[in-house]
Structure 1
Amino acid sequence: MADWDGRGLPPVAAERARRAAAGGAWTSLLSAPAAAGLKVAGFEPVGEVMGSIVQQIGWSGYGGCGIYGGLGGLGGWASPTITSSDSMRFGGFGPYVDALYRGYGTALGRMVQEAATIGADGVVGVGLTMSPLPGGPREFTALGTAVRAGGDIRPHRVFSTHLPGQDVAKLVTAGWMPTDLVYGISVAIRHDDWRTRQQAAWGSGNTEVAGYTELITYARADARGRLGGHVHESGADGAIVSSMDLRVWEIEPGENHIDHVAEATVFGTALVRFHADSAPPTRTLTFLPLR
């Protein structure tokens, strides 16, 4: 087998897609309610699809932002918070966030390409994960069930959504169509200045640590802003958020010089409106106790 040049699908994935496109038995990650809901909405499952990439993140960016934070970096009263979206080249974790975007984006792109190869119109119930591997690399994986529209009206391109089949059915019946899995990622860094150290010290009592509040608020706000930008780029009207996660750790770029880092991620599904029928998509079933 010839060496793969990194373009298109990996050879094993391409062969899997070729077999699926040829017909025969298909596999699915759908639950029974999800499969039934998709049937009501006019979609049929055509196979399980996946995209992945293993990526080494060799350089995360310069972490010692306190040095470049004015008086705060020199042990003063307050320091600035720098996010990965800031233009400052000597601080923040911009290269690290760019690597995360590339990892998730490549995995999603390969999953969608595999779905298109087997003649699918969309992928539902997508799970998007990042897992560390021995030695430092990380595997980014996108996994879902490819579906095909049964009628003559079909999407112009393959859509992807984290939503399960029954939720997709409700949205489609109500006039909404999922378009893309969207996400926003941001990493913010802040030097532990004098005020932060005083507020976080043992014995300070019940008090807000304003520096930490600012750090996580900036990170979350920047991630939400990036999510909004992704929704806008997809041409969608809005998005349903599936998860909002936050991770905080500390680094020591120099002796007695502590910075705190916050990583915020927001994932969701972008939606477009294709009709404005006000009728409810489904009716709740009533269960009566047999007494």
Structure 2
Amino acid sequence: MFGCIAMNVGWTGTGCGGYGGGGVGGGLGGQWGGSSGGWGTPGFAGTWISPVLTTGGGWSAFGDYVRAYESAWHEAVHRMLLEAAQLGAEGVVGVQVARTRITEGAWEFSALGTAVRVVDASLVGHDPERRVWAADLSAEDVAAAIHSGRRPGGIAFGLAVSTKHEDTQLRMQRTSWTGTEVEGLTAVLHASRTAARARITASAGRHGGGTLVITGMGTREFETPCGERETDVHAETAVQGTVLVPTPRAAFRTTDRPGTAHVLSVLPVTDRRRPEEPR
């Protein structure tokens, strides 16, 4: 199964990341929540320590970028599920979502996976809305989850970007010849990962909650110029996982009632049976 969307993903910022008007708002245009707000805090020998500002997904700077990225990511998965629904599938397993640059500002988000049908419907219960679920777990892992009384509810995703202006302390620690922790970078990376985990938790809630199985998390660090000679440092974290929700059989799957390996069947792309046809 395949779904894709081309999206213009960019960011617009004004000024430097360290000059905010408070813990929320200011900074790179608003909708930021940082570990420090306003103009930062005093550091060693009176040096100024810039705050760490993290996107909240609003209409500003990297907030616009986060919103566009997440929207395109979920839309690619949604279009893949629409194709799977035409085959009469219950779900799509082994889903991989990729981002490929097309032009300077445009990216293609694509979702690819294998459509499956649950052989024994009693294991997952009846869904009158016939919603197709997605999982970035393997077919074997999904089968094991179904036998334990849980089925995939969908794929959750979270993205966050944190920013810190390169203050004097950060500059000195980054250029030190000794083994010194770069505290500013540590703070930026930690803030980005914390915010991304919060966003994927919210995303999981939209799939009915349940158990969130994290399958991947990646963080990249990059820099942008601020003025003529200064720099902002950024950390972007993306995290994804599969939501597993309880099935009606959850209370009855015990060690004295082991399941079998015959749970899922892979659907060929030529299978055009309507959902209402007998299986």
State how far apart, in whole Å, the 2-side matches of 1:84 and 1:234 are.
Answer: 23
Which residue of structure 2 aligns with residue 94 of structure 1?
63
Which residue of structure 1 aligns with residue 119 of structure 2?
150
**TM superposition shift of 1:76:** 4.4
State how far apart, in whole Å, the 1-side matches of 2:254 and 2:190 are.
Answer: 37
What is the one-letter code of the residue matched to 2:164? R
The reply to whether residue 164 of structure 1 matches residue 138 of structure 2 is yes
What is the one-letter code of the residue matched to 1:208? E
SS at match of 1:104: helix
1:206-285 alignment, distance < 5 Å: 206-274=179-247, 275-276=250-251, 277-279=253-255
**TM superposition shift of 1:114:** 1.3
What is the one-letter code of the residue matched to 1:51? G
Moved over 6 A (4+): none
- Tell me, which stretches of 5 or more residues in structure 1 are unaligned? 1-48, 284-291
Once the two structures are superposed, residues 241-279 of structure 1 have per-residue CA deviations (whole angstroms, 9 ceiling, x without a partner) of: 111100101111211211101000101100112203342
1:42-191 alignment, distance < 5 Å: 49-62=1-14, 64-68=16-20, 69-70=38-39, 76-85=47-56, 92-153=61-122, 154-155=126-127, 156-191=130-165
Q: Single out whichever of 152-161 and 273-282 deviates more from structure 2.
A: 273-282
Once the two structures are superposed, residues 81-117 of structure 1 have per-residue CA deviations (whole angstroms, 9 ceiling, x without a partner) of: 1111187x76x51000011011101101111111112
**Structure with the bigger percentage of helix:** 1
**TM superposition shift of 1:151:** 4.2
**TM superposition shift of 1:150:** 3.2
Count, aligned residues: 231
Change in Cα spacing, 1:264 to 1:112, as seen in structure 2 (3 Å) is: same
- Tell me, which stretches of 5 or more residues in structure 2 are unaligned? 21-37, 262-279
State how far apart, in whole Å, the 2-side matches of 1:239 and 1:63 are.
Answer: 38
Instruction: Kindly report the root-mean-square deviation, in angstroms, between the aligned alpha carbons of the 2 structures.
Output: 2.4
TM-score by length of 1: 0.73
SS at match of 1:70: coil
TM-score by length of 2: 0.76
